[in-house]
Structure formats: structure tokens, C-alpha cells
Copies of this chain bind each other. A is one copy, B any other.
Amino acid sequence: MSNPSILILPGDGIGPEVMAEVRKVISWFGEKRDLAFDVSEDLVGGCAYDKHGTPLHDDTMAKAQEVDAVLLGAVGGPKYDNLDFSVKPERGLLRLRKEMDLFSNLRPAQCFDALADFSSLKKDVVAGLDIMIIRELTSGIYFGEPRGIINEGNERVGINTQRYTESEIARVARSAFELARKRNNKVCSMEKANVMESGILWRDVVQEIHDAEYPDVELSHMYADNGAMQLVRAPKQFDVIVTDNLFGDILSDAAAMLTGSLGMLPSASLGAPMANGRPKALYEPVHGSAPDIAGQGKANPIACILSFAMALRYSFDQGDEATRLEDAIEAVLAQGARTADLLGNEGETPISTSEMGDAILKAL
């Protein structure tokens, strides 16, 4: 049997640096844990545009469809800010999500004990925080038609369409309920059913799937604006949150920032099972391409390494190995290793991206 395959798309900015550390970790699992992967690499985002005039070449798209998992670094940078909408770095990422049909985006917001002081929130509000936001990722206002900027009378009009079908809502709801069963069995669904009909349908379908298939899971509904408040006020009240593409974008970023350490947060984007039973999957850190520090060895590789841990768990059914990797990272943090983004005011000295990678290998 051949090894499972991984396509690495480092992307732009700090993407390549953090991905170099992930590669070390992947190799370690091959050598030490008998978990070898066939790794290939390609371009996405601004660097793909530079080479091919498109942020995602069709060949790359085809490869992504074939592999067992894609690992992505980050895309974008000021160099590309004035590109036409259709070829912006982000379009590469959005095309991957859409064509791989990665409808369920798992965004854990977890506060690491060693870093609880680092949050802008009070320690008791965030210490031990462990919530999972499931964001619908392939529909809603990100992809709905009609869209565009048109002329009407003598002015421009900007249009986007929020559109959700029953089955799109049902499948992401199921993925939230499944996950809740493996956690604390609680799902909170967020929308604006008081204002948007798409929110009414969202609420109804989530409730129907619950009642028919997951009556054992505790379900609540919350308006998304209140959700934003509650995340700031008392985030530990949540276990799993399920919400649409746009609300998920904003709420998961707010939740990520609660932990105070964006450089620590991974994500998984999962689709339907492939022929081999594995889900279509893309893993990426929550942080962006951070062009201001790119190429300086300052970036924190942990979010990207934790994204690989999520790959171990969700694509390769290696939950124990994922935990091993996560524990190694906790241990390194507990020992005080800090990249520049994790420094307090206490005059600590940071270690570099590759030193952090090495420290994690050592802890493994």
C-alpha cells in the first residue's frame, strides 16, 4: 500500500517559513513513528499569481483533489493589494474551499495554560478555554449569485447574495453535532433569524436535524450579535458553535483573539468522504501571511504544526499521534519557549521560527 499523500501549499509571506517547520515534523513522524507520507509541494496565492498569472493553477487544483490532505500556509500581501478581484491571492484559497467542497471548517479556540496571561481578557475568563467553532465554508454570501458592482441610474451599486439551501445547512449541522458528541455534547447555533430569512431557515434546519438525528445533544440558538457579546463576556459557556460562512469568519476571529495568541491556532476544512473513506481536507493556520515579519525567522510555526496535528486526527485517524504532537507543544511552551509574538512585557528573548520547530522535535 502506498503512503498517504499530502500536498503542501506554503503560499505567501510567512507561509514558507512556518511550513518548513511542519516538514520537519512530518519527517519525524515518518522516521520515528512509522507514519510516512508522500509529500508534494506547489504554489497558491500571490506567488502562484507571480508565476502563472492566477492565484491557483488548474494543475494545482487537480492535485489538491487527488491527495489525502492539503496543508496550506497563508496567502496575500501588500504587493497584491491592487490586483483585480478575480486574481487576488484570496481567490486561490476560496477556489480550493469551493471546488473541494470543504463545507465544514473547524476552528478551535483553545487557551494554552502557559499562555493564559497573554490574552487581553482576564485570566479567569479564558484559562482552560476550549471551544470549537464550526463555520460553513462553501456557501452563503461568499459564493452566492448574483454578485458584483453594477451601474444603476448614474451610480454604482454593490451586490452580494446570501443563499443557503436546506441540504447545505443540514450537512454542516450534522458535522457540528457529530463533533459535539465527542466533546461536551453541546451545540450553539448562531444566525440573525430576527432579521434574515436565511437565518430563519438556518435555525429551522439545525433544529430539525437535531430533533431527528441528535436529540441527545444539547442545542441552543443565539443571534450572532449576541454571540459576539457572549464570546467576549463569558466564552467558556460554549462547547461547539455552528454558524454560517460570514458570521463564522468574524466570530471565529474574535474567538481566536480571546486566546491572545493567534500564532497558536490551527484549522481544518473538511468535505465529504473520498473513495478511500478519508474526507476531502485542507488544514491551515488561522493567522494570515504577516508580510511585515516575513522572511525574518520571527514567525510562530505552532499554528501550522497544530494544523498538521489536526490532519493526523481528522484525515489519518491518528488521534493518539495528534495528541502526542499537541502534548509536545504544550511541554515546549511550559518550558518557556516563546517566539516573538508570544512575548510578554518581561524582557524575555524570543526564539526563532526554526528554533521553535527544533524544540518541538526535541520534545517529541
Question: B-contacting residues of A (Cβ < 8 Å)?
Answer: 76, 85, 88, 90, 94, 120-122, 125, 141-142, 144, 147-149, 152, 155-167, 192, 194-202, 205, 224-226, 228-234, 246-247, 249-251, 253-254, 256-258, 260, 262
Contacts and interface: CB of A to CB of B under 8 A. Distances in A.
A160 B196 contact: yes
28 contacts: A88-B194, A120-B121, A120-B122, A120-B232, A147-B196, A147-B197, A149-B197, A149-B200, A155-B165, A156-B166, A157-B163, A158-B162, A158-B197, A192-B246, A195-B249, A225-B250, A225-B253, A226-B253, A228-B228, A228-B251, A228-B253, A228-B257, A229-B256, A229-B257, A231-B254, A232-B232, A247-B250, A254-B254
B158 A161 contact: no
B199 A158 contact: yes
A159 B232 contact: no
A224 B250 contact: yes
Contacts of A160: 161-162, 196-198
Contacts of A224: 249-250
The binding surface of chain A is classed by DSSP as helix
A158 B232 contact: no
Nearest to A155: B166
A201 B149 contact: yes
Contacts of A197: 85, 147-149, 158-160
A225 to B, nearest CB: 4
A195 B155 contact: no
Contacts of A195: 90, 94, 141-142, 249
A87 to B, nearest CB: 12
A247 B224 CA distance: 10
B253 A233 contact: no
Contact of A165 (B90, B152, B229, B234): B152
A157 B162 contact: no
Contacts of A196: 141-142, 147, 158, 160
Contacts of A234: 120
Contacts of A156: 165-166, 201, 205
Contacts of A90: 194-195
A173 to B, nearest CB: 14
Contact of A158 (B163, B225, B250, B251): B163
Given A195-B90, A233-B120, A258-B232, A157 B149 contact: no
A265 to B, nearest CB: 11
A224 B164 CA distance: 22
Contacts of A161: 159-162
Nearest to A144: B159
Nearest to A247: B250
Contacts of A205: 156
Contact of A155 (B152, B158, B167): B167
Given A120-B232, A121-B122, A166 B157 contact: yes
A226 to B, nearest CB: 7
Which of A165, A230, A250, A262 has the most chain B CB atoms inside 10 A of its CB?
Answer: A250
